[in-house]
Chains A and B, each alone.
Chain A
Amino acid sequence: MLKSWKLKEIVLMSLFGVVFGIVYLLFIHLGNIWAGVIGPIAYEWMFGIWFIVSIISMYIIRKPGAALLPESMAAVIEVMLGNAVGPRLILSGIIQGLGAEAAFAATRYKHFNLFVLMLAGIGAAVFSFIYGYFVSGYAALDPSFVALMFTLRVLSGAIIAGVGGKYIADALLATGSLRGYAISRTDKGDARA
């Protein structure tokens, strides 16, 4: 899978992983304090933030693996930075990345419009919820409460990760720094100097 990857694309994913790894950690702490007040549902509405690097990277690089790898790399970097969620972040990163990757694989890596990006956000939300259901013991909670959590997470995945991810990537494209990546080549728009 890595054969077709240029080194600069891998390093790009890693650097995105650093930027978003810091953002992710920030929100984990924010979420924890918040969760002390309103419980685990505190994370749900902002869960999309944790999927965003998959969507941005895939939108820019457009190669198989461009959703799974950056999310996993961001998770590894979060672990390297040191935090109290720890090594299992890598596992959840891989699972979230797989969820987003599944949506892109289902469309055969051909379309990268808003709909597919939102679908990827939803995919990541569904995958991560199944994992969270197990690890965080949601089975012990009231099913209707779990359903509410699930709905919030899917919405958050679609809106924050899907729409937000596209918004950030488009803004980045406008800066002109993405020349040399798939996003500039396939974009119909004029040459951005």
Chain B
Amino acid sequence: MRNLLHDMNPSVKFGVVTVSMLAVAFFFNPWTPLLFWVSVLALQIALSRINWKIWLLFMLPFTLGAFGYLWTTVIFSAETGGTVIWSFAGLDVTDAQWTTALSLSFRVMAFSTLSLMFAFTTDPVKFIMSLMQQLKLSPKLAYGIMVGYQFLPVMKDEFIQIQQAHRLRGADTEKHWWQRLFSMRRVIIPMLAGAVRKAERSAFAMEARGFTGEARTAFYRPVQVGRTDFLLAGVFMLLLVGSCVGGVILSAP
């Protein structure tokens, strides 16, 4: 049971997540995103094995962002009608504003939870393989992305190396974060130059080993779509429709 979400076909999962997000974006009542958020969370607790400590760490900045949404929407809401529920520092907050503000904040929370569900239960390599096999992504692009992905640790080493080289030559160390932001150029140009050279070398190596980038039908590691994928997609859609309908009913005056 607890590996169902991990084993779900990445392309199907990707489709489900995208459709859910686009659908929830149509609703401006607070209940729909709240219901959907809670149900996705419940599903994730039941059907996956993830490290919830790391999950919380990832959620933290988005919770802050949701809070920002809450108060900006209260102040800059398009709707100013409705009855005033409370006043604060000369600012009247009406129930209509409060409802939209809550809705947009819950939306941020629901979207982040849904995204983290995808991120925590999907193997990146399998995701690309599935995009190539199920969604007919061109192998040239798919393997191009894979090359980039596999270079990540190398890039990290290179980043440290460039920093060390700067320090070795006695480049100024920045005290403030904005100085560090502007000195990003010193790091990013060598990084990109390195990327260009790596791209050339690896493309040459791939072609030398007979990679043509032609579309193919047989794969070394096939990624399949099975019955459980349809079942899980069905469960998600049910939750989505349930949240939408439930939200509209609950928010009806």
CA distance A29 to B59 in the complex (A): 11
Tell me whether A115 is interfacial, beta carbon within 8 Å.
no
Tell me whether B197 is interfacial, beta carbon within 8 Å.
yes
For window 189-247 of chain B, which residues contact chain A by CB distance below 8 Å? 189-193, 195-200, 202-204, 206-207, 211, 213
CA distance A16 to B189 in the complex (A): 11
CA distance A84 to B120 in the complex (A): 10
A172–B196 CB distance below 8 A = yes
State how many angstroms separate the Cβ of B137 from the closest Cβ of chain A. 9
A36–B65 CB distance below 8 A = yes
Query: What residues of B have a CB within 8 angstroms of the CB of A29 in the complex?
Result: 61
A2–B138 CB distance below 8 A = yes
Query: What residues of B have a CB within 8 angstroms of the CB of A41 in the complex?
Result: 72
Q: Which of B124, B145, B213 contacts A7 (CB 8 A)?
A: B213
Tell me whether B64 is interfacial, beta carbon within 8 Å.
yes
Chain A residues within 8 Å of chain B by Cβ, number = 62
Binds B, one of A98-106, A122-130, A175-183: A175-183
Tell me whether B85 is interfacial, beta carbon within 8 Å.
no
A141–B116 CB distance below 8 A = no
Query: What residues of B have a CB within 8 angstroms of the CB of A39 in the complex?
Result: 68-69, 71-73, 76
Tell me whether B140 is interfacial, beta carbon within 8 Å.
yes
Q: Which of B72, B145, B155 contacts A73 (CB 8 A)?
A: B145
B147–A32 CB distance below 8 A = no
CA distance A137 to B101 in the complex (A): 10
State how many angstroms separate the Cβ of A192 from the closest Cβ of chain B. 13
Binds A, one of B86-94, B104-112, B165-173: B104-112
CA distance A142 to B74 in the complex (A): 10
| Interface SS, A side | helix
A69–B141 CB distance below 8 A = yes
B127–A35 CB distance below 8 A = no
Known: A39-B72, A177-B196. A84 touches B119 (CB 8 A): yes
Tell me whether A15 is interfacial, beta carbon within 8 Å.
yes
A86–B115 CB distance below 8 A = yes
A88–B147 CB distance below 8 A = no
Residue of A nearest to B120 (CB): A82
Known: A84-B59, A140-B79. A10 touches B141 (CB 8 A): yes
Query: What residues of A have a CB within 8 angstroms of the CB of B155 in the complex?
Result: 18-19, 22
Residue of A nearest to B66 (CB): A36
B interface footprint on A81-95 (CB within 8 Å = 1, 0 otherwise): 111111110110000
State how many angstroms separate the Cβ of B4 from the closest Cβ of chain A. 18
State how many angstroms separate the Cβ of A36 from the closest Cβ of chain B. 3
B149–A8 CB distance below 8 A = no
Tell me whether B47 is interfacial, beta carbon within 8 Å.
no
Q: Which of B124, B192, B198, B200 contacts A172 (CB 8 A)?
A: B192
Known contacts A11-B147, A90-B14; can you find 5 more A-B pairs with CB under 8 A?
A6-B203, A11-B203, A86-B111, A135-B22, A139-B28
Q: Which 9 residue pairs across A and B have the least CB separation, nearest first?
A: A86-B115, A39-B72, A36-B64, A14-B148, A8-B203, A80-B124, A12-B199, A32-B61, A15-B195
Residues of chain A at the chain B interface (Cβ within 8 Å): 2, 5-8, 10-19, 22-23, 29, 31-33, 35-42, 69, 73, 76-77, 79-88, 90-91, 134-137, 139-143, 145, 168, 171-172, 175, 177-178, 180
